[in-house]
């Protein structure tokens, strides 16, 4: 592989004769890079300062992409184990059922260099961004940024997009060897056997499923009732949990992490269950999927207001309380998702360059990765029944049908579903029975995340069941919503299907 720069050293790509920038972006992650690109595309003169050795941020370094990578490996290993029963499939497992983790991580570490390289090339050559890499910015005031060895940069605006770092719960033992967050997980240098994942969260569960799929004894510990933080119905919640349980991955919910125990390296964790009784779980690895904390310290000294979780408080124009200082991405707290980071950067650019736009973050589609994707958008059935009253629901598998549902409810599960219920799926769509409007949808399977972003668009447009029944589908799967809705949509008074 040929890379375009030496990623161990500071790297400059900017016009050093610039007296004053239109905007300086602090951070070249998802929000900083997309914000910079939009800003540059609109004609603004921008400089992006990134402390790490690449553009693209933690997403491709050790967060979202790693999360998806581990999820995808978990899915494939899971399928390989299930299909092992079939004579035409390669035998599995090997080496007593345990798959080595270190080669999996090594591949990732090699692979991400290509991603860094591509991001660099695209940003520099195609998007014409100006940037510094491997250099840390300090904010002196709303119009002055300094970088060691470079002195001061003057700017009309600052967009703070420095992201967030891993949160570590305040319990004893988090400094033991063998305790990881996403940020240092790639430094793993041994093959664990007994794993405890703290947090049945979006960032905890993909790791837990990966550990389970490679053959580690894995337990998930969660403070809240399992999956209660997600806007999904009980049936979807139960289906998601059942699929994990089937694979030997229990979630100990309403259970608090008391301490991580060991001497030098981790040996066990102590938890306290809903019964108030403490118990000890053996562990040679503890993975903390306990969220992130915004890196707002960089601008609190100049008076930028933050909230209780250290998040920078911004209005719908991405402006902070200090004129000329904007913030976007994970540093603004709330849900820390790519769309929010990318769109937030774009919104900041628009507002600075006189094309005012309000950022609405209330309504979005989201996915939880386990061995499946659990995907949702809009209202749950429960919420809809409370708020709207008369509700029409299409649901698969249908309730009370005694054979296992033979139809594939997710991409890649076709006829397998009948023999391996583990590879089926679950889906529901909710309509207002009076106005016939689409209110929400939920899906457990594969492929949901490719379609739900567009279902969100239909939701925002106020699409009715009749419009959805008129869509031109591609066979089945998440599409199933279209064909199933069509089966009933001739009715004046809608009756549930499923």
Residues numbered 333 to 372 that lie near a copy of itself (CB under 8 A) are 338-339, 342-343, 346, 349-350, 363-367
CB of 449 to a copy of itself, least distance (A): 4
The two three-digit tokens of residue 435, written as one number: 């106005």
Answer yes or no: are the C-beta atoms of 387 and 402 closer than 8 Å: no
H or E segment and range at residue 41: helix 30-41
Answer yes or no: are the C-beta atoms of 57 and 48 closer than 8 Å: no
Indicate the residue among 280 and 487 with the shorter CB distance to a copy of itself: 487
- Work out whether 457 is an interface residue with a copy of itself (CB under 8 A): yes
- Work out whether 173 is an interface residue with a copy of itself (CB under 8 A): no
CA 455 to chain centre: 18
CB of 395 to a copy of itself, least distance (A): 11
Cα 81 from Cα 373, distance rounded (Å): 19
CB of 124 to a copy of itself, least distance (A): 12
Q: Pick out residues in 123-162 that bind a copy of itself (CB under 8 A).
A: 126-127
For the window 26-65, what string marks contact with a copy of itself as x by the rule CB under 8 A? --------x--xxxxxx---------------------xx
- Work out whether 191 is an interface residue with a copy of itself (CB under 8 A): no
Q: Pick out residues in 65-104 that bind a copy of itself (CB under 8 A).
A: 65, 68-69, 72, 75-76, 79-80, 83-84, 86-94, 99-101, 103-104
- Work out whether 190 is an interface residue with a copy of itself (CB under 8 A): no
Q: How distant, in Å, are the alpha carbons of 18, 47, 72, 158, 248 from that of 136? A: 19, 13, 34, 15, 45
CB of 195 to a copy of itself, least distance (A): 16
CB of 261 to a copy of itself, least distance (A): 30
CB of 415 to a copy of itself, least distance (A): 4
CB of 106 to a copy of itself, least distance (A): 10
Q: How distant, in Å, are the alpha carbons of 92, 386, 390, 459, 490 from that of 432? A: 47, 12, 6, 12, 15
For a copy of itself, how many residues bind (rule: CB under 8 A)? 112
Indicate the residue among 79 and 295 with the shorter CB distance to a copy of itself: 79
Three-state SS for 226-286 is CCCCCCCCHHHHHHHHHHHHHCCCCEECCCEEEEEEEECEEEEEEEECCCCCEEEEECCEE
- Work out whether 379 is an interface residue with a copy of itself (CB under 8 A): no
Indicate the residue among 141 and 187 with the shorter CB distance to a copy of itself: 187
Q: With b meaning 16 or more CB within 10 Å and e meaning fewer, what string describes 368-380?
A: bbbbbbbbbbbbb
Nearest to 444 by CA among 165, 243, 206: 243
Q: Which residues contact 370 (CB under 8 A, 6 or more apart)?
A: 205, 206, 209, 240, 243, 244
Q: How distant, in Å, are the alpha carbons of 200, 273, 279 from that of 276? A: 20, 5, 10
Indicate the residue among 88 and 151 with the shorter CB distance to a copy of itself: 88
- Work out whether 437 is an interface residue with a copy of itself (CB under 8 A): no
Candidate residues 155, 328, 451, 464; the one interacting with a copy of itself per rule CB under 8 A = 451
Answer yes or no: are the C-beta atoms of 82 and 422 closer than 8 Å: yes
CB of 39 to a copy of itself, least distance (A): 7
Indicate the residue among 126 and 263 with the shorter CB distance to a copy of itself: 126
The two three-digit tokens of residue 261, written as one number: 């125990």
């Amino acid at each position: 592989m040929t890379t375009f720069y030496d990623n161990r050293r500071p790297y400059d790509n900017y016009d050093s004769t610039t007296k004053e920038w239109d905007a300086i972006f602090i951070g070249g992650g998802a929000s900083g890079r997309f914000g910079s690109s939009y800003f540059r595309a609109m004609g603004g003169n921008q400089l992006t300062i990134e402390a790490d050795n690449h553009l693209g941020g933690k997403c491709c370094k050790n967060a979202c992409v790693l999360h998806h990578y581990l999820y995808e490996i978990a899915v494939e290993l899971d399928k390989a184990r299930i299909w092992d029963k079939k004579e035409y499939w390669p035998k599995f497992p090997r080496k007593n059922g345990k798959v080595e983790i270190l080669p999996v991580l090594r591949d990732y570490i090699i692979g991400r260099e290509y991603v860094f390289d591509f991001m660099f090339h695209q940003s520099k050559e195609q998007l014409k961004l100006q940037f510094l890499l491997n250099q840390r910015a300090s904010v002196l005031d709303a119009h002055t940024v300094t970088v060691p060895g470079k002195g001061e940069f003057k700017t009309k605006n600052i967009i703070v997009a420095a992201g967030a770092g891993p949160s570590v719960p305040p319990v004893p033992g988090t400094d033991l060897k063998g305790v990881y967050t996403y940020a240092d997980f790639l430094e793993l240098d041994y093959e664990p056997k007994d794993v405890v994942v703290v947090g049945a969260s979006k960032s905890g569960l993909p790791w837990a499923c990966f550990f389970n799929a490679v053959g580690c004894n894995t337990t998930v510990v969660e403070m809240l009732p399992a999956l209660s933080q997600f806007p999904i119905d009980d049936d979807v919640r139960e289906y998601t949990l059942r699929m994990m349980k089937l694979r030997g991955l229990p979630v100990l919910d309403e259970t608090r992490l008391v301490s991580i125990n060991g001497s030098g390296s981790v040996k066990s964790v102590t938890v306290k269950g809903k019964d108030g009784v403490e118990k000890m779980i053996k562990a040679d690895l503890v993975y903390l999927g306990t969220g992130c904390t915004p890196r707002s310290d960089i601008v609190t000294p100049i008076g930028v207001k933050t909230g209780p979780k250290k998040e920078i408080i911004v209005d719908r124009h991405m402006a902070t309380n200090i004129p000329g200082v904007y913030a976007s991405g994970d540093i603004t707290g709330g849900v820390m998702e790519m769309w929010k980071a990318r769109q937030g950067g774009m919104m900041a650019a628009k507002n600075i360059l006189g094309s005012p736009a309000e950022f609405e973050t209330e309504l979005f589609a989201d996915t939880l990765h386990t061995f499946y994707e659990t995907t949702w958008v809009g209202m749950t059935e429960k919420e809809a029944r409370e708020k709207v009253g008369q509700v029409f629901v299409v649901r698969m598998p249908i309730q009370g049908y005694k054979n296992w549902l033979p139809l594939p409810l997710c991409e890649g599960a076709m006829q397998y579903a009948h023999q391996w219920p583990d590879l089926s799926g679950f889906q529901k769509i909710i309509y207002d029975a009076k106005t016939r409007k689409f209110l929400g949808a939920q899906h457990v399977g594969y492929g949901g995340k490719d379609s739900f972003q567009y279902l969100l668009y239909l939701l925002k447009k106020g699409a009715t069941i009749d419009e959805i029944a008129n869509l031109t589908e591609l066979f089945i799967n998440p599409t199933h919503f279209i064909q199933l809705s069509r089966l009933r949509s001739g009715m004046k008074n809608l009756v549930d299907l499923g």
